[in-house]
Chain A
Amino acid sequence: MSSSAAVADPSAARGDQPGPASTRGRWWHGARNVVLAVPVLPITILVYVVLAATIPGFASFGNVQNLLGSLAVLAIAAVGATIVLLVAGIDLSVGSTIALASVLGAIATRDTGSMVVGLLAALAAGLVVGIINGFCIGVFGLPPFVLTLGVLLAARAIAYISAAAAAGGGGTAASVGQLPPQVLTFGQSTFAAIPSAFWIAFVLVAAFSVFLSFTVTGRSFYFVGSNEKAARFNGLNVPVMKFLAYAIAGVLGGVAGWVLMTRLGSGNATAGDALLLQVIAATVIGGTSLFGGQGGVWRTLVGVFLITGLTNALGLIGMASWNQEIIVGAVVIFGSGLAVFLAKFQARSRR
């Protein structure tokens, strides 16, 4: 390559940066950045468009409101799960944390008549679970799968016992009710026609996205997850980072439990049993790696939209729940088969 040729074409040397005067180029550049950040977004949008066009009632105002409100709890919990996955951990206790937080929050709200006290109780419950997880896994180094499984069982049992005690009759009780009416009013309320529950989820996703991308602590999560040894050698306090991840996930579980309580108007000890797998599915489908170091909360939110949109649409065409699950299962299996095929194809074409 003669030097004159290299100098003559500096834009080629700069690579793909568009010329500063081209607004169309800037738009394209921005869109490209969005797709790089959330690769599943364009396909999810396409899926929604297809569903809206083919399924009657999917795009109706009422259904969209229903959809946004019902995915809020899952989205909030999935943000916490994302952070834990980023540090290459796993939190199986998220469902039970939600149940415990909703029960304790309901008891506090019922007994004091104040929603704020209920929120604090739910947050405290989530924080305690998160601290226990974080300590045992981050500081003592216990394996995350086993530890959070134990916490799952314990937290759920405590939720049941608390609900039974609150019901006052002895034996098992699964929900705590008789909450002041403003709880349900808030849970079903909308702001600018969008359910409040969804706004809470959206604000949390945005806040944690900023935290993860623009703060040193946030970016350290990625580092710890992708290469723990290197992170340690670089001076990062890995035990503290892991502790923080699980603690955050616990608090977010508490928030999700409180939001669930406001949506249902009761604290529910049975909540969260099915939620755990949905949380993990949404997070992984969104594009966060199970092995740590890669992913993000916007990706998770899109994953939540994809799963919830699918089950909502299938429900609208009257498909029974078990058939819905066959479809979702088939989608995940087919999708992962396709993924393996794509990876092999790409590896072969790179050679």
Chain B
Amino acid sequence: MKPTHLHLPIGVAVAVLALTASACGTTASPGSSSSGGSGGTSGTIKVGVAFDKMDDSFRVGEKKYLDQYAKQMGIDLVYQDAQSDAQKQSSQVQSFISQKVAGIIEIPWDTQAVAADISAAKAANIPLAIMDQQPSDTSSVYFYVGGDPSSDGKMAGDYLVKSAAGKPIKVLELQGSLNNVNGIERSKGFEDAVASASNISIVAKAPTDWKADKALAATQNALQSNPDLNAVYAPWTGALPGIYSSLKAAGKTAAVADPNHVYTMSINGDQIGCKYVTSGDLGVDVATPVEEMAKQALQAVKDGAAGKAPVQNVVELPGLAYTPADLAENRSKVWGCQG
């Protein structure tokens, strides 16, 4: 008698066949019409983009500018999302290499494991530009462009020192994820900047893995244990909605001039940051130059495909700190405030 548990696998396999046949009959997605290889439509080159994750407003901004400048430079982009899995990302990069793309741009999930991708791309003679997350070892990287997290954190800290002007401050420091340079340096930069100010003390510190729900929980806990908390530092703007809802629930929504005002500082420069700076809630937002990052990464792979090496291997672009006071003049330079 035929075992019934085999119907599932057989059914699945038949379904795979059917779906594959129909999927290949129609054009599945933008990348599929061109055959594999470095040539796309005439004159354009094909570049693979390996994102570590896509569920983040910053990544959305990076994709927008990559698309914009790629079109101008005559580059066809194929995106892959590793969904926060290092092995998946490695496999996706290998896939790009075996398709012999003209170049690869990668935002690495695992800044240690990216070394494998760097050496594999080098062996295959394909220019690999790393973006946004600095590899732990940049000695053999072809090109890296990212923000300058240390100076971004310092700018946020300097703002707090200046605005506090001697007033006693108890600050909650939220940290990103401490397994990459952005998280570590944004935290350290902030701490170094406020270390010299004796009126400012960090009463709570919480790592959040760049996750908004963890930021919300950490803010609520900090407000519980420190009812006179009057400053919150969030190293990315995704945490802000949760922070403001916690502050509102605790009744701490006093305006700037009020002695009970809670100072908030953040980094990213995306739509969320721009919105809160415009409304006056957010004291300072440090805009990371995403546009410039995307442009430089694309330029590096385009040059690499043509055989030119980049002038500088490691580029750290400083951010721009903007506040409600200088919003009018800085608005055009902040990527999150455009469109």
Contact = CB atoms under 8 A, between A and B. Distances in A.
Interface of A: 39-40, 43-44, 46-47, 50-51, 54-57, 60-63, 65-66, 69-70, 73, 163-164, 167, 169-178, 184, 187-188, 260, 263-266, 268, 270-271, 273-274, 284-291, 294-295, 299, 303, 306, 310, 312-313, 315-323, 327, 330-332, 334-343, 346
Interface in B77-133: 78-88, 90-92, 94-95, 97-99, 109-113, 115-116, 119-120
B10 interface: yes
A174 B16 CA distance: 35
Interface in B14-42: 14-21, 23-24, 28-32, 35-36
B149 to A, nearest CB: 15
B8 A284 contact: yes
Given A271-B87, A274-B85, A39 B17 contact: no
A295 B10 CA distance: 14
B151 interface: no
B83 A169 contact: no
Q: How extensive is the interface on chain B, given as a class? A: 35 or more
Contacts of A40: 6, 9-10, 13
Contacts of A163: 179
A184 B137 CA distance: 15
B9 A285 contact: yes
Contacts of B11: 334-339, 341-342
Nearest to B209: A172
A181 to B, nearest CB: 9
A338 B36 contact: no
B136 interface: yes
B177 interface: yes
Contact of B94 (A66, A73, A288): A66
A43 B115 contact: no
Interface centre among B16, B17, B97 (most CB of A within 10 A): B16
Given A263-B87, A273-B85, A338 B29 contact: no
A184 B115 contact: yes
A303 B9 contact: yes
Nearest to B177: A172
30 contacts: A43-B10, A69-B94, A173-B179, A174-B177, A175-B111, A176-B112, A177-B113, A264-B112, A265-B116, A266-B115, A270-B109, A271-B86, A273-B85, A274-B88, A306-B13, A318-B30, A318-B31, A318-B32, A320-B79, A321-B80, A321-B81, A321-B83, A330-B19, A331-B15, A335-B9, A335-B12, A335-B13, A337-B11, A341-B11, A342-B11
Contacts of B13: 40, 43-44, 46-47, 306, 335
A302 B209 CA distance: 37
B110 A175 contact: yes
B150 interface: no
B178 A335 contact: no
Given A66-B95, A265-B116, A327-B19, A286 B110 contact: no
The 9 A-B residue pairs whose C-beta atoms are closest, nearest first, are A318-B31, A177-B112, A62-B98, A335-B12, A338-B11, A339-B7, A43-B13, A339-B11, A171-B178
B95 A336 contact: no
Interface of B: 2-21, 23-24, 28-32, 35-36, 78-88, 90-92, 94-95, 97-99, 109-113, 115-116, 119-120, 136-137, 175, 177-179, 184, 207, 209
B139 to A, nearest CB: 12
Contacts of A288: 5
Contact of B12 (A56, A167, A184, A306): A306
Contacts of B136: 177-178
Given A264-B86, A265-B113, 9 more contacts: A172-B179, A260-B87, A265-B116, A287-B6, A289-B5, A316-B99, A320-B80, A320-B81, A322-B81
Given A270-B85, A316-B36, A340-B7, A62 B113 contact: no
A47 B109 CA distance: 32
A327 B30 CA distance: 17
B20 A50 contact: yes
B7 A265 contact: no
Contacts of B3: 289, 294
A316 to B, nearest CB: 6
B12 A336 contact: yes
B29 A187 contact: no
Contacts of B7: 338-340, 342-343
A263 B117 CA distance: 11
Contact of B99 (A39, A57, A289): A57
B8 A339 contact: yes
Nearest to A325: B83
B179 A175 contact: yes
A63 B250 CA distance: 56
